[in-house]
Amino acid sequence: MSGMRPTGRLHLGHYVGVLKNWITLQHQYQSFFSIADWHALTTKYDETQGLNGHILDVALDWLGAGVDPVVATVFVQSQVPEVAELHLLLSMLTPKKWVETDPTLKDMVQMLHEDLNYGLLGYPILQTADILSVKAHLVPVGKDQLAHLEISRDIVTRFNHLYQVELFPAPQPLLTETPMLPGVDGRKMGKSYGNAIYLSDTEEETWQKIKQGITDPARIKRTDPGNPLECEVIYKYYEVFAPSDVQALAAEECRTAARGCMDCKRILADVINAQLRPMRERRQALAEDLGQVRQILKDGSEKAREECRQTLQEVRSAMKLFSLD
């Protein structure tokens, strides 16, 4: 089980860091992928208007990239209200200290320009509800999410111990070595820096961005030999996207000044565009048929709901909560 907050279109950093991994894992495990729109509200509660578009954009990016709704359950968090009930119940047995000392949450709070909302404090508990609602064993996430996941495991231990049940497995992180991809200017790839190449960019936009990419700063004239290891963006992209022979040739021709940086970028843009072409075509086709995308999300949300309803029933009964039946 994993999720992403819908904050906008996805870029190559998301693709190589997260999505590519999910696309492999979906064939190895029964998988649930949540578009965590409530989590987005914890910091952007005043931007609900844009959220609807972001949700569809994320769905298009996932499906275009190859998340397959036939094998994986793709759903929207807010369409599974049972997650909110589970969040509420779990919040009752979570000591305030646990969330207050979560370093990832501390970072989020520090970046806030306003007072801390009660909802943001519950971020890791809501995430725990996502995970436990489908009783997930494995959670493929990045390092920044490990602290949240530790809280999830602590909540599981506490729940199982308090109510003397073995209801939830302790969710383990699934850390996969994924490359960190810098933006074309060498800084962290992100929307705010304008240095990101998007899955949904056109081939021309991709080329225009790669053209601006930074290269070996010591290579000034076309005749200067270069050092690929000092070329932190363009050569890094070769390492991530190009087949090994194409990559080796780039390194060789860079060192001997047999190719100029512009040619080198042109070849790279062709490599990346060729790789993204089938994804972009699939995305485009779906973007022209949003009815189908909505249906996929609807079916996925219904499937996730069924799991979650079942889990909640077990939770209510383990906690001996009041029932009229």
- List residues binding ligand TRP (CB under 6 A): 1-5, 34, 36, 39, 127, 130-131, 139, 141, 145
Residue 44 or 211: which CB sits closer to ligand SF4?
211
Q: If binding means CB under 6 A, how many residues of this protein chain bind ligand SF4?
A: 14
Tokens in use for 241?
């996207």
Tokens in use for 69?
């709704």
Tokens in use for 65?
């990239």
CB–CB of 13/196 below 8 Å?
A: yes
Applying CB under 6 A, does 219 fall inside the site for ligand SF4? yes
**CA–centroid distance for 160 within its chain:** 29
Binder to ligand SF4 among 15, 75, 235, 241 (CB under 6 A)? Answer: 235
Query: Under DSSP, is residue 181 helix (H, G, I), strand (E, B) or coil?
Result: coil
Among ligand TRP, ligand SF4, none, residue 36 binds (CB under 5-8 Å by kind)? ligand TRP
Residue length of the chain: 325
- CA-CA distance, 36 to 25, in Å (whole number)? 19
Tokens in use for 10?
């996805």
Tokens in use for 93?
């047995």
- CA-CA distance, 134 to 310, in Å (whole number)? 9
Closest-CB residue for ligand TRP?
Answer: 3
Minimum gap (Å) between residue 39 Cβ and ligand TRP: 5
Minimum gap (Å) between residue 215 Cβ and ligand SF4: 4
CB–CB of 255/227 below 8 Å?
A: yes
Minimum gap (Å) between residue 5 Cβ and ligand TRP: 5
Among ligand TRP, ligand SF4, none, residue 34 binds (CB under 5-8 Å by kind)? ligand TRP
Tokens in use for 217?
């700063």
Comparing CA positions, the residue from 205, 226, 222, 194 lying closest to residue 269 is 205
Binder to ligand SF4 among 63, 120, 197, 250 (CB under 6 A)? Answer: 250
- CA-CA distance, 198 to 60, in Å (whole number)? 12
Tokens in use for 36?
């965590």
Residue 216 or 307: which CB sits closer to ligand SF4?
216
Binder to ligand SF4 among 78, 215, 247, 311 (CB under 6 A)? Answer: 215
Residue 154 or 239: which CB sits closer to ligand SF4?
239
Applying CB under 6 A, does 259 fall inside the site for ligand SF4? yes
CB–CB of 129/36 below 8 Å?
A: no
Minimum gap (Å) between residue 172 Cβ and ligand SF4: 39
Minimum gap (Å) between residue 259 Cβ and ligand SF4: 6
**Quick one: CA torsion of 141, 142, 146, 149, rounded to 10 degrees?**
-20
- CA-CA distance, 250 to 257, in Å (whole number)? 10
Residue 75 or 237: which CB sits closer to ligand TRP?
75
Residue 150 or 239: which CB sits closer to ligand SF4?
239
Binder to ligand SF4 among 36, 58, 105, 261 (CB under 6 A)? Answer: 261
Q: Give 240's contacts (C-beta < 8 A, 6+ positions apart).
A: 16, 179, 181
Residue 146 or 214: which CB sits closer to ligand SF4?
214
Applying CB under 6 A, does 182 fall inside the site for ligand SF4? no
Residue 132 or 254: which CB sits closer to ligand SF4?
254
Q: Give 305's contacts (C-beta < 8 A, 6+ positions apart).
A: 79, 80, 82
Binder to ligand SF4 among 41, 74, 80, 264 (CB under 6 A)? Answer: 264
> Would you tell me which residues interact with ligand SF4 (CB under 6 A)?
215-216, 219, 226, 228, 231, 234-235, 250, 254, 259, 261, 264-265
